[in-house]
Amino acid sequence: MSALSPPPDQDIVVVGATGDLAHRKLLPALYNLSVEHLLPTKGNIVGTAPFTWNDQRFREHARDGVTKFSRTGIDTAAFDAFAQRLHFVPIADGDLAPLRAHLGCDRRIAYLAVPPSAFKALIDALGAAGLAQGTSIIIEKPFGHDLSSARALNQTLHAVIPEDRVYRIDHYLGKETVQNLLVFRFGNSVSERIWNRDAIARVEITVAESLGVDGRGVLYEEIGAIRDIVQNHMFQVLAVTAMEPPISFEAEAIRNEKVKVLESIHPIDPHDMVRGQYAAGMVEDERVVGYLEEPGVAANSTTETFAALRMHLDSWRWSGIPFLLRTGKRLPTRDTRIVITFRDVPVHLFRDVGVHQMDSNRMVVHIQPNEGIALKFVAKQPGPDVTTQQVEMTFSYGTSFKTSPPEAYERLLHDALDGDHTLFIREDEVESGWAAVERVLMSPPPVHLYPAGSWGPPEADRIASPGHWHNATV
């Protein structure tokens, strides 16, 4: 991030400043930007929430969050300098007008780190407080609950703030590995030649979490895996994987190509999806309860904690190629990866010397953890006979760059402060994503149980067939 410079002067308003996201991600990210001189030179950071905190209490909360979650730890002098900019204004009766007294700049950005149910009232309140002029908004996921609610939320937003000041955040786009996919695909002449239906047989995207609902049963009951992960994070990874080369590296050129991918998703048939829900089991050597026993979850809940789906893109580049998406909670490990399987060789030349079965070439993009790329191919085992074995060539961030990538939220906050929309989701992208899952949301397939610590219900194997899922080795 060293090539970046401080964004224009502006205030930063964190709405929902007492919550989990602010504590674990936003305040540590703002602190690290401050340490790297990448915050606006002038401007306050104003936290707000219904809690009646004061500046001192907010600064203690920030210190705690930075101590526990900052990737660089905490430097006392640097934190004290950062803390001077922190102020807290309690919201009473949904009125945001008291914020005005704490804003020193003509320009500001408001981060809505609040439950989605609060989005509309807060956007209206910004307008009612006379704060629309000069305000940009960063808005968290999930953006809507389905296509019609996403459209309604877009209308609410645009009544107060124009689209060019709206930043819909999906922190997956802030991950170095997702951005590197653009560089890998469009910065290397060798990759684009094989990135199509002629060379690729199938594409698998897995987002596996070992965590359960982590005490957020009430919230998760309303959402489920399709809305929580598939419609946003997985579709964004899909869009970057499958997009055409943009005409430039400008935000709109990239977003134009991403939206075409989402618009090309063939409507997903409920038969091409398997939903699952975790039962009690063992995860990472720990016994855990099933979803139905989690606090806040209805005893007869059919909310999915796992989804696997097969989809196709109606496009020249990808016609006929299956895209297999799978996500779940309480899987054996935390692992997000894209597995590209290439077509088999046309003739099995080594059959005559006893090698009947050869593994297909595969490329694995490790998005998290162990960020990097691996190419798996077949090599001859040393010796007088022709025997083959699959081997791996790897690129790893840790080894090549000897540095840990910055947190996604640091990059995204800086970009939004700087007015760069490249890594944020446009109005039409969010609506195309919802349109693609509309059918499965209206008629969801049944939910199958899977033991916590497994790779999901056995029924999901049908989605990957012929062939199988490529799981992380645990």
Amino acid, res. 131: L
- The span of 9-17, 200-208, 244-252, 364-372 binding ligand NAP (CB under 6 A) equals 9-17
Is there binding between residue 276 and ligand NAP (CB under 6 A)?
A: no
Which one of residues 4, 21, 355, 449 is an interface residue with ligand NAP (CB under 6 A)? Answer: 21
> What does the DSSP assignment read for 61-116?
HHHHHHHHH-TT---HHHHHHHHTTEEEEE-BTTB-GGGGGG--SS-EEEEE-S-G
Minimum gap (Å) between residue 322 Cβ and ligand NAP: 29
Residue of 320, 372, 368 whose CA lies nearest to 203: 320
Query: Smallest gap, in angstroms, from Cβ of residue 64 to ligand NAP?
Result: 14
Q: Which of 23, 233, 414, 421 is catalytic?
A: 233
Burial 292-308 (b: 16+ CB within 10 A, else e): bebeebeeebebbbbbb
Q: Is 425 in the site for ligand NAP (CB under 6 A)?
A: no
Torsion angle of alpha carbons 437, 438, 439, 444, nearest 10°?
A: 80
- What separation in angstroms does the CA of 367 have from each of 44, 158, 320? 34, 34, 26
Active site residue 37: no
| CB 159, min distance to ligand NAP, A | 19
What is the Cα–Cα distance from 98 to 86, expressed in whole angstroms? 16
Contact between 467 and ligand NAP per CB under 6 A: no
Cβ-Cβ contacts under 8 Å for 22 (sequence gap 6 or more): 14, 16, 47, 65, 113
Cα separation, 185 vs 178, in Å, equals 11
Question: What is the C-alpha separation between 192 and 361, in angstroms, rounded?
Answer: 16
- Smallest separation (angstroms) from ligand NAP to the CB of 137: 13
323-328 and 200-208 strand pairing = parallel
Of the two residues 154 and 315, which places its CB atom closer to ligand NAP in the complex? 154
Site membership for ligand NAP, residue 116 (CB under 6 A): yes
The two tokens of residue 10 are 């502006």
What are 354's two structure tokens?
């006893």
Closer residue to ligand NAP (CB): 96 or 472: 96
Residue nearest to ligand NAP (CB): 19
Among 4, 118, 128, 282, binds ligand NAP (CB under 6 A): 118
Q: Alpha carbon of 459 to those of 75, 203, 410: distances in Å?
A: 51, 19, 39
Asked if 115 interacts with ligand NAP (CB under 6 A), we say yes
- Chosen residue from 27, 33, 39, 113 binding ligand NAP by CB under 6 A: 113
Site for ligand NAP in 130-159 (CB under 6 A): 140-141
Closest CB to ligand NAP among residues 13, 242: 13
Asked whether 277 and 291 are in contact (CB, 8 A), the reply is yes
**15 is an interface residue for ligand NAP by CB under 6 A:** yes
- Of 15-23, 206-214, 285-293, 411-419, the segment contacting ligand NAP by CB under 6 A is 15-23
User: Mask of contacts with ligand NAP, 34-73, x by CB under 6 A?
Assistant: ---------------xxx----------------------
Over the window 67 to 106, marking each residue x when it contacts ligand NAP by CB under 6 A and - when it does not, the resulting string is ------------------------x---------------
Provide the minimum distance between the beta carbon of 175 and ligand NAP in the complex, in angstroms, as a whole number.
Answer: 13
Stretch that binds ligand NAP, among 13-21, 176-184, 320-328, 406-414 (CB under 6 A): 13-21
* Best CA proximity match to 61, nearest among 100, 102, 13, 28: 28
Contact predicate 405/176, CB 8 Å: yes
Of 104 and 215, CB closest to ligand NAP:
215
The 10 Å Cβ neighbour count of residue 264 is 18
Contact call for residue 19 and ligand NAP (CB under 6 A): yes
Is residue 170 involved in binding ligand NAP (CB under 6 A)? no
User: Could you tell me the smallest distance in angstroms from the CB atom of residue 346 to ligand NAP?
Assistant: 46
Residues 6+ apart with CB under 8 A from 241: 181, 203, 205, 338
Binding site for ligand NAP (CB under 6 A): 15-21, 24, 49-51, 91, 113-116, 118, 121-122, 140-141
- Residues carrying an active site annotation: 233
